Structure 1
Amino acid sequence: MTVTADMAISLDGYIAGTNVAMDNPGGDGAEPLFEWIHNLASWRQRQGMTGGEDNRDSELMREWFDATGAVVMGRMMYDTGEEFWGDNPPFRAPVFVLTHRPRPALVKEGGTTFTFVTDGIHSALAQAKAAAGERNVDIAGGASTVQQYLREGLIDELQLHVVPALLGEGLRLFENLGGGRRNVEPVRVVDTPLATHLKYRFVK
């Protein structure tokens, strides 16, 4: 089992724009980070749609879907995505939501369940690992959640989809990581017209 984080990121290191809010989940100016995904065949299929481009980008997205057995996310990501995902979210797996506000678990269509975890990142990860079986656990976001897991050295692999855009401001991924150096080794580089896909493994 591998603990992963898989993020779209701008050339200048942002994973969201400014003014992230319930009605603006990506933040201002963040459209380039996500619009390349919307016409991929694997993404559209996951959303219950047909058609789309069946290219190398789509293959990488499908690889993530197939490998992921459970997901961890922060409460902000859940709150901003809940209405967009609707009754049939795209995860098709157990999702563990970090929160300070407890609420009952939610069972959705398509195999997605949301469990709300109030006792910290280690508990959420342990529950996700138990639920994932032999598949991966993905730390989905947002920035603060991924940073917490990076800071604790709990992520094994990091995949960045580097989009050819400069946002100039917003939420950076590589901030608030604490002191100390962490070594990484490259696993794969895939360059397409839409993004450069970089996968790294953290050296333990």
Structure 2
Amino acid sequence: MSKLKCHISISLDGYVAGPNQSVQNPLGEGGESLHDWVVPLATWRESHGKEGGEENESARVVEEVRENIGAAVMGRGMFGPIGGGDWNDAEEWKGWWGDDPPYHYPVFVVTHHPRESVEMAGGTTYHFVTDGIESALDQAKKAAGGKDVMLWGGGNVVQQYLAAGLLDELELHVVPLLLGGGSRIFGESGAANVRLEQVRAVEAPGVTHLKYRVVK
């Protein structure tokens, strides 16, 4: 049966993006450092059209995370641009990832503002869902054709899926970094009532990978 999975980098003080996010600094102050562990990996570089890279424990985790994914969901905050709002002010916006995004499957963006689907190179198509997180997940599962659905973030939409009991698997990539503020996935919107069962812990350079099953 298709699962909804989320894997996300998080600071030791619980933030998935730093404070003062902007178009120039979409992950906020210090937020880029949350991903220092993944950018050098060969598997990450390959998915972004680059050659070379490192192989370590993190590479195996990332490869596993990406297996059997047929579609994805993300929030408007992750798709951008920062500040949201009506698409009339951002009708040319097609995400942060250029003409060939690294997804290569349908991506359903949760938003309050309707927009026609945007087809990109490499098999990525963005669909914009205005009738809630449940509808976005239903559409993604249908598009995935029996494969799993990845919840890519950002923090607010992960909170919503956790609080609604719709997330099946959560993998936190814990980075030894203190951001002091920014976007969180725990502590609000009812997520405090979520029960997690640890599946594994993997130590790797610059990060610890903690995988959980959501108990329902």
Residue in structure 1 matching 2:167, options 120, 136, 155: 155
Cα distance in 2 between the residues matched to 1:10 and 1:179: 18
Q: CA deviation at 1:66?
A: 2.3
Quick check: 1:171 aligned with 2:172? Answer: no
Structure 1 portions without partners, runs of 5+: none
Cα distance in 2 between the residues matched to 1:97 and 1:86: 16
* CA deviation profile, 1:33-90 (whole Å, cap 9, x unmatched): 0122111100000001100002221121122222321110111211249453111000
What is aligned with 1:67?
68
Cα distance in 1 between the residues matched to 2:144 and 2:95: 25
Quick check: 1:41 aligned with 2:45? Answer: no
What is aligned with 1:76?
77
Distance 1:36 1:179, change over 3 A: closer
What is aligned with 1:197?
209
Quick check: 1:14 aligned with 2:26? Answer: no
Cα distance in 1 between the residues matched to 2:192 and 2:177: 30
Give the secondary-structure state (helix, strand or coil) at the position aligned to 2:104: coil
Give the secondary-structure state (helix, strand or coil) at the position aligned to 2:179: coil
Query: Quick one: percent identity of the two aligned structures?
Result: 50
Partner AA of 1:84 in structure 2: W
What is aligned with 2:150?
138
Aligned length: 204
CA contact (8 A) 2:156 2:184 kept: no
Distance 1:180 1:44, change over 3 A: closer
Partner AA of 2:190 in structure 1: G
Give the secondary-structure state (helix, strand or coil) at the position aligned to 2:73: strand
Cα distance in 2 between the residues matched to 1:120 and 1:83: 20
Cα distance in 2 between the residues matched to 1:65 and 1:50: 19
CA contact (8 A) 1:14 1:171 kept: yes
Cα distance in 2 between the residues matched to 1:95 and 1:76: 14
Q: CA deviation at 1:179?
A: 7.2
CA contact (8 A) 1:105 1:116 kept: yes
What is aligned with 1:182?
194
* CA deviation profile, 1:115-159 (whole Å, cap 9, x unmatched): 011111111000000011222111111111111111100001110
Partner AA of 1:200 in structure 2: Y
What is the Cα-based RMSD across aligned positions, in Å?
Answer: 1.6
Partner AA of 1:30 in structure 2: G
What is aligned with 1:31?
32
Structure 2 portions without partners, runs of 5+: 82-92
Partner AA of 1:174 in structure 2: F
**Greater shift in the superposed pair: 152-161 or 65-74:** 65-74
Give the secondary-structure state (helix, strand or coil) at the position aligned to 1:45: helix
